[in-house]
Structure 1
Amino acid sequence: MNKISLFLLSALFSQCMFAASMIEAYVDDPLPILDAQGKPLREITRANLPKQNLEVLQWNKELDLIQVDLAGEKVWLDTMSVRVNPPLYVSSMPCQKLSTSLAEDHQNNSTLGYGAGCAK
């Protein structure tokens, strides 16, 4: 009995730890809807998109596309058109060890940031 309950508890917590990526914002308006090869099918305005976050069903890393369920239809979106949380790309660089600025950077008013995908 202990082995079964331990298995069920581990299965419950493992699903919580591996939560799916969610679309939290739309960058483009209108948002292009694509086919599986990345060809545009149609566009949809931001007003016609759901207000709640959409779950990412699949990620085509080669074409940089994500699949979502939009009103019962599975469609593909460009990852540059949406903001996904947690990020799809996570850098393997140790960002806390990288230098963020040099003494002469204050003269050209530029900044260097590693973004949300930086592994900390």
Structure 2
Amino acid sequence: MSTDEYRRGRAVEREREKKQRAVHGRYRGVLPVIYGIGLVIFVVVSLFMGPEPAFAVYLVTHLFYAGLIRADIKSLRSQGLDWGFSRHIWFGAAFALPFVAPAYYLYSRRVIRRENESRDVAE
């Protein structure tokens, strides 16, 4: 048994506080920008080229959103944020539904704020 388990005092408390860092979404800030660009491309393609190319744009952008959301959740989990099973639901919904990316953006802001408050750190 190591003696590190029994260490006490101010130095140990400072080390614990250093370990508690603020959680932040690595790709969360880019999501609204990418969503806006994808929406503009979808509207332009649907107006000038028809429904088939617009569906292709829809499919590709949703694959991209799902990848961004998956990468963001993975980065949040690596920072110690526990998502549970809902991470699979967010990923699947981002692939299939059009307004999941903005909903994920708002939901993740709430989850990150709650986690940072529980860690007593500023964002």
| TM-score bin, normalised by smaller chain | under 0.3
TM score, norm. by length of structure 1: 0.25
More strand by share: 1
More helix by share: 2
TM score, norm. by length of structure 2: 0.25
